[in-house]
Structure 1
């Protein structure tokens, strides 16, 4: 594992690492922000999962999170969104919504994707071990958040692993991938045609069977072009209400799907997580 980038930011360090990811069978990049507090103690950590077409750097450059992470003494880890490399299979049509940059944070079971596209195991198992070996992070105090495809990833991963995370939040998450074009394409290719297996990767389904209720914050812009067709926020609202799972799901008038939206409310999300981690 090597440091390939470093910048001072708000008294802390913004780092970028590269390493050989055993889970994915390729070289992977991930970014870590360490607040000033990390110079003398292990600090709590938030894992950020980005959306379609993103790398580990989009959030780092656009969200403006470092200032608030420094204030609250939190590290932020941002992995890439899929395996990478010349040998990694991609969408046959080079579409943006599948393959490279679109790992959907699941473990693929179908060929040819199953050899490398094991993003669920990478985020849940391998990445925390790698980060903890290189950085002064307290892995017992962890939260997870993300945007769009990454919001889907954060919610599903947290709902399936409430013992690993103390809080979860999302911007514009894909709330029910079983019922939207992005999700149907990804799940049918990665997981297969058995739709019953998709429920394990669908937040609106997972809240119905959750035995432990983590603190949840969701922000959704009402001017988001993807809201009706792809994000299906109403399904998460309905499922959480029916299951008695308390969630703060905020609809924000005038905001769209962009990082301008994320940057506006990132302080709220980091403050939210700081209460629990």
Structure 2
């Protein structure tokens, strides 16, 4: 079984492209999105490898639970190798995105498969329906990019204790796999269920989606709260240091110690340049 060019260019390509942009922003690598030769080569290389992974994984692994996990592992390895990023942090970001967008898709796709397409096989062969079902996720991806580009400082993951990534990864892995497997079983066995079981399973699926969302948002809330607290502390320290430095420069200028003031400013600029590097 081979992935069609339609799915490759109209579903896999925009999905991988937008995911890569979001991952780089959350990796605090917005500068790698600027247009220069090195950035373009890295971005295109990553994108091509992500598409190659999709071409291999999508046709060979119809079970969506294993499909998503394999995609998340492939994305993590690609970004880690090409952009030289921390493996645990990258996998945490990829799984966080996977769970978020999978939860969105599972809120409507299983019901389209069972009620409109009459089965997973028919749904998989209907390229137009696959495209239409992917549009809500693409819209959310674009909104996420616009939001994160403006407000990334709120979500600065660099201040999170690296030891926590392993715990977050375990939780996100379990939630992502469980939600997708539950959804997959629902679509496979829906036609064989009695009406009562169909209603019960549909209700349980919605409960699982709601629970997953609640856990994710709680996780994000606690993470962001700790990150913001650290950020405020660092900002206050920086503000105090800057005030002290400018007072020293002002005092030196008042005493006509221009050379010393220039040296102090030079040290300050050198320190800032090192931070940017």
Q: What is the TM-score with the length of structure 2 in the denominator?
A: 0.28
Q: What is the TM-score with the length of structure 1 in the denominator?
A: 0.28
> Greater CA radius of gyration, 1 or 2?
2
Q: Which has the higher contact order (CA 8 A, sep 6+)?
A: 2
Q: Which has the higher helix share?
A: 2
Q: Which has the higher strand share?
A: 1
